[in-house]
């Protein structure tokens, strides 16, 4: 049993349900432009003491995800499910969550939303 909570793993194609990753969510369902300002206004502004804006918070989360050492190096690259660029070949973990190296690419380039728990962890690490 994996000791980590996995986030940011997507099925290969939204429409193909016969691929080996068909048990994973479709990234298209998590793309939501404007989401950062939306949650900032409804929740995170209060949580962060109104110290950052939505886009800044997004960058804080991206920096957080990219700040951990790479583990579990794989042969070959994972292709981005949206733009098909080469998007990393390893995983990272903060000790509780595990995500593909290219997870931050989806957030930065494709407006993929992230669990609030990750935002809280990123913010708390920054404030330490
Ligand atoms: Zn992409």
Q: Rounded to an integer, what distance in angstroms lies between the CA atom of residue 104 and that of residue 102?
A: 5
Please state the rounded mean pLDDT for residues 49-74. Answer: 88
Specify the pLDDT at position 128.
79
3-state secondary structure of 124: helix
pLDDT digits 0-9 by tens, 62-97? 999 999 999 999 988 999 999 999 999 999 999 999
Q: How far is the CA of 46 from the centre of ligand 1 (A)?
A: 31
Please state the rounded mean pLDDT for residues 20-29. Answer: 87
- Number of domains comprising the chain: 1
Question: Residues for the chain: how many in total?
Answer: 128
Average pLDDT over the chain, rounded to whole? 88
- Could you list the residue range(s) of the whole structural domain that residue 80 is in? 5-127
> 100: closest CA among 15, 10, 28?
10
Residue 53 has pLDDT above 70, yes or no: yes
Q: How far is the CA of 102 from the centre of ligand 1 (A)?
A: 9
Q: How far is the CA of 35 from the centre of ligand 1 (A)?
A: 18
């Amino acid at each position: 049993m994996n000791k980590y909570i996995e986030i940011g793993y997507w099925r290969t194609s939204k429409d193909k349900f016969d691929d080996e990753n068909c048990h994973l969510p479709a990234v298209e369902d998590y793309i939501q432009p404007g989401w950062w300002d939306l949650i900032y206004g409804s929740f995170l502004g209060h949580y962060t003491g109104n110290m950052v804006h939505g886009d800044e918070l997004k960058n804080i989360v991206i920096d957080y995800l990219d700040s951990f050492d790479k583990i579990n190096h794989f042969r070959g690259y994972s292709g981005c499910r949206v733009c098909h660029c080469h998007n990393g070949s390893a995983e990272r973990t903060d000790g509780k969550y595990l995500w593909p190296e290219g997870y931050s690419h989806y957030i930065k380039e494709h407006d993929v939303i992230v669990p609030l728990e990750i935002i809280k962890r990123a913010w708390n690490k920054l404030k330490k």
